[in-house]
Chains A and B, each alone.
Chain A
Amino acid sequence: DADVTQTPRNRITKTGKRIMLECSQTKGHDRMYWYRQDPGLGLRLIYYSFDVKDINKGEISDGYSVSRQAQAKFSLSLESAIPNQTALYFCATSDGDRGGEKLFFGSGTQLSVL
């Protein structure tokens, strides 16, 4: 079983729809992250959380929101999806201090907004 599980793996939606991407982990890590990946732009940080009561904006948080429902669960929402949010989304975890430990990534969610 995967240590970091993302659902769904693929999603096609229409402009204006609300979408939630879910991430759960069995690694027992406190730190969880959401990144998006676009061709030619690399991985960019959307939000991160260091525990259930801690939520931080990343480089490109506009248009997104997150919820840390439990240590093991971190969901990403697009309140009103737009086409330029079409991307590959990755959830990741780490147990490190000040970013010094490696990230463990989920398999990704390919989102297409029409």
Chain B
Amino acid sequence: GQNIDQPTEMTATEGAIVQINCTYQTSGFNGLFWYQQHAGEAPTFLSYNVLDGLEEKGRFSSFLSRSKGYSYLLLKELQMKDSASYLCAVPEDSGYALNFGKGTSLLVTP
């Protein structure tokens, strides 16, 4: 089985930087995904890391360390619209479907 851990809630100020951490345990590794989900809406893809290091995509960056079973999502220049849940996900051990963490609810305040 897998164990995916991420903080339940975080609060940050508009314009600031926030880092959302995710740790995972898996017998194999086929990459790590981050999704964004606004309240009442479907999750949407943010990033996919399969190699160690930082992947930058505009205001959002995602980091992976396979040896540590650790990833983080970095959000810069926070905007009010970034208030959402952020879901960390890894393929299940068979590699055929995604297992999701419970999500981190981010609140951006003025």
Given contacts A98-B30, A98-B91, A99-B30, are A45 and B97 in contact (CB under 8 A)? yes
Given contacts A45-B97, A99-B91, are A108 and B30 in contact (CB under 8 A)? no
Residues of B within 8 A of A41 (CB): 102
Residues of B within 8 A of A106 (CB): 42
A-B residue pair count with CB separations less than 8 angstroms: 62
User: Any chain B CB within 8 A of the CB of A56?
Assistant: yes
User: Any chain A CB within 8 A of the CB of B31?
Assistant: yes
CA distance A102 to B89 in the complex (A): 10
How far is the CB of B77 from the nearest CB of chain A, in Å?
A: 24
How far is the CB of B94 from the nearest CB of chain A, in Å?
A: 8
Please tell me the size bucket of the interface on B.
20 to 34
Closest to B8 in A: A40
Q: Is the CB of B97 within 8 A of A58?
A: yes
| Residues 82 to 110 of chain B near chain A (Cβ within 8 Å) | 87, 89, 91-92, 95-103
- Which of A35, A40, A99 makes the CB contact (< 8 A) with B92? A99
CA distance A58 to B97 in the complex (A): 9
Most A C-beta atoms less than 10 A away, residue of B31, B40, B97, B99: B97
Closest to A90 in B: B42
- Which of A42, A99, A105 makes the CB contact (< 8 A) with B95? A99
* 29 intermolecular pairs with C-beta atoms under 8 Å apart: A33-B97, A42-B100, A42-B101, A43-B43, A45-B98, A45-B99, A48-B97, A50-B96, A90-B43, A98-B91, A99-B30, A99-B31, A99-B91, A99-B95, A100-B30, A100-B48, A100-B50, A100-B91, A102-B33, A102-B45, A103-B35, A103-B43, A103-B98, A105-B42, A106-B42, A107-B41, A107-B42, A108-B40, A108-B41
